[in-house]
Chains A and B, each alone.
Chain A
Amino acid sequence: MTQASGSGMFIRVEVDEPVASDAAAAKQLAGVCPVDIFEASESGVTIVDKNLDECILCGLCLAVGPAGAVRVAKLYDAGALLVAAV
């Protein structure tokens, strides 16, 4: 179940439960994203819509929480999901 999501013109970000409402995970997401797409609060993470298109596809957020819980989709590429760098 997707709990937090947002779409820009080029990028869509989705965060599933239980990561979305976990305050610690939210803090982690806010910490790793170099372009401030995630905002952390006590109740979890919210997506900062105005920063979505700044995403540099670094994949650092994908490593937060269980695999697949955080997804970055490229709207200009038929919604292709960003794969974490190895």
Chain B
Amino acid sequence: MRFYEFEAKALLGQAGVPVAKGGTATTSDEAARIAASVGGEVVLKSQVLSGGRMKAGGVKFAATPDEARAAAEHILKLEIGGQMPRCVLIDSKQPVKKEYYAGVIYDAVAKLPVAIFSDMGGIDIEEVAEKNPEHVARVHFSTFQPLQEFKFKELVASLGISGNELNQISRIIARLAKAFLTYGLTLAEINPLAQLEDGSFIALDSHCDMEEEAREQQSAVLDELGIGREETRLARPPTEFEIRGAEVDASDHRGVAGRVVEFDGNLGCVIGAGGGSLTIFDALRKHGGKPANYCEIGGNPSVKKTCELTKLILSKPGVEKICVIMNVVSNTRVDIVARGVIKGVIESGYDPAEKIAIFRIPGSWEEEGYKILEKFGVDYADRTVPMSEAARRAVEKVKA
């Protein structure tokens, strides 16, 4: 889950990272008031989750509250990367002498957090790493607190920085690292970390990401920031269909019928599990199929849950048939899924033999499952039929 800049600013500010004076506004009048209270020249930044807001005209400068009002008026109406801004951030504009970069992420190879520092800030760090690798330094640090702050001193010193700068920068990186660990973040980044004309340092823009898995533990912080549980913060907001899919999943604790994602096609997918769904989705597309949705069933969901998911998919306009495909299952039971799907089809007013293009789930309790499928005349495939062949057959049937 990506945080908006103003949220990241609040998080890092709480952790002791110096940030600019300012506030957020959702109306132009409010923006003018904030500009007046900040005083002097301000920068107004559109609060969207997508990048490229500078290029899109989402960042403007204003010398007076009136200019700020006009700038906010423009920014608040401006769509960037398909998103309307959540609000506009008004920050005091600072006289910058030099820009640095500081970030913390996980290194999945070392399995440790890694702090990254560069004396070339303000631009994409990946680009710097590629073109000027000698300007990028990294240090791994322990996940156990208290932090070993000397590591961040070594990090900054490795780029030839000494004196007051060394102490100031490494202290900020230590606070960034602390925020990273304390708030369960997967990315904490300050870019640029600016040195001002007076020699002090300030975070001028920051990014933070939190993974889904940490949200429960961090609920106090999220509540404080006003981020509701329903906010997925993915690349696009959830559709009505996806919200209903999540409701089906949450309705019952037994098993998973989750990660329902809507697509435009005519072939409904009751597929699973994590890896199986990815494999099946690729296969359906490879054979020219047009999936109506993505989903992941697993963990032996209840009959009711699979039934409700099936009904949801069949209620989507344009869905002609559904395919039910999984890898050879271990803990999910073939008979339980078969019951759920058939029930869902019948309760939607259709004939399972006609509506289910193919059922290919071999594995646990398959003998019992095949009896159910035979009884309802459903076309099914056993473990001798590869997943992609089952996908091909399903696509053929929808085309016919």
Which of chain A's residues has its CB closest to B373's CB? A76
Interface status of B371 (Cβ within 8 A of chain A) = yes
The listed residue (B304, B333, B336, B371) touching A76 by CB distance below 8 A is B371
A76 to chain B, nearest CB (A): 4
Q: Which residues of B approach A to under 8 Å, CB–CB? A: 302-304, 333, 335-336, 339, 342-343, 346, 368, 371-372, 375-376
Does A9 contact B346, Cβ atoms closer than 8 Å?
yes
Does B336 contact A56, Cβ atoms closer than 8 Å?
yes
Interface set, chain A 30-46, CB cutoff 8 A to B: 35
Report how many A-B pairs have Cβ atoms within 8 Å.
Answer: 26
Which of chain A's residues has its CB closest to B376's CB? A76
The listed residue (A9, A35, A53, A57) touching B368 by CB distance below 8 A is A57
**CB contact under 8 A between A77 and B371, given known A54-B303, A56-B333:** yes
Residues of A with C-beta under 8 A to B368: 57, 74
A81 to B127, CA, bound (A): 68
The listed residue (B302, B304, B372) touching A10 by CB distance below 8 A is B372
A36 to chain B, nearest CB (A): 11
**CB contact under 8 A between A10 and B339, given known A54-B302, A54-B304, A56-B333:** yes
The listed residue (B303, B371, B375, B376) touching A53 by CB distance below 8 A is B303
**Contact-size category for A:** 10 to 19
B344 to chain A, nearest CB (A): 11
B333 to chain A, nearest CB (A): 7
Which of chain A's residues has its CB closest to B304's CB? A54
Residues of A with C-beta under 8 A to B375: 76-77
Residues of B with C-beta under 8 A to A57: 335, 368
Residues of B with C-beta under 8 A to A77: 371, 375
Does A9 contact B333, Cβ atoms closer than 8 Å?
no
A56 to B212, CA, bound (A): 32
B157 to chain A, nearest CB (A): 62
Residues of A with C-beta under 8 A to B372: 10, 76
Does B342 contact A9, Cβ atoms closer than 8 Å?
yes
Does A53 contact B333, Cβ atoms closer than 8 Å?
no
A21 to B333, CA, bound (A): 34
Which interface residue of A10, A35, A56 has the most chain B CB atoms within 10 A? Answer: A10
Residues of A with C-beta under 8 A to B333: 56
A12 to B226, CA, bound (A): 50
Residues of B with C-beta under 8 A to A74: 368, 371
A53 to B341, CA, bound (A): 12
Residues of A with C-beta under 8 A to B339: 9-10, 53
Which of chain B's residues has its CB closest to A77's CB? B371
Residues of A with C-beta under 8 A to B304: 54
Residues of B with C-beta under 8 A to A56: 333, 336
Q: List 25 A-B contacts (CB under 8 A).
A: A9-B339, A9-B343, A9-B346, A10-B339, A10-B343, A10-B372, A35-B302, A53-B303, A53-B339, A53-B343, A54-B302, A54-B303, A54-B304, A56-B333, A56-B336, A57-B335, A57-B368, A74-B368, A74-B371, A76-B371, A76-B372, A76-B375, A76-B376, A77-B371, A77-B375
Pick the 4 closest A-B CB pairs, nearest first.
Answer: A76-B375, A76-B372, A53-B303, A77-B371
Which of chain A's residues has its CB closest to B302's CB? A54
Residues of A with C-beta under 8 A to B342: 9
Residues of A with C-beta under 8 A to B376: 76
Residues of A with C-beta under 8 A to B346: 9
Residues of A with C-beta under 8 A to B336: 56
Which of chain A's residues has its CB closest to B336's CB? A56
A2 to B375, CA, bound (A): 27
Which of chain A's residues has its CB closest to B340's CB? A53
A72 to chain B, nearest CB (A): 13
Which of chain B's residues has its CB closest to A57's CB? B368
A54 to B303, CA, bound (A): 6
B297 to chain A, nearest CB (A): 16
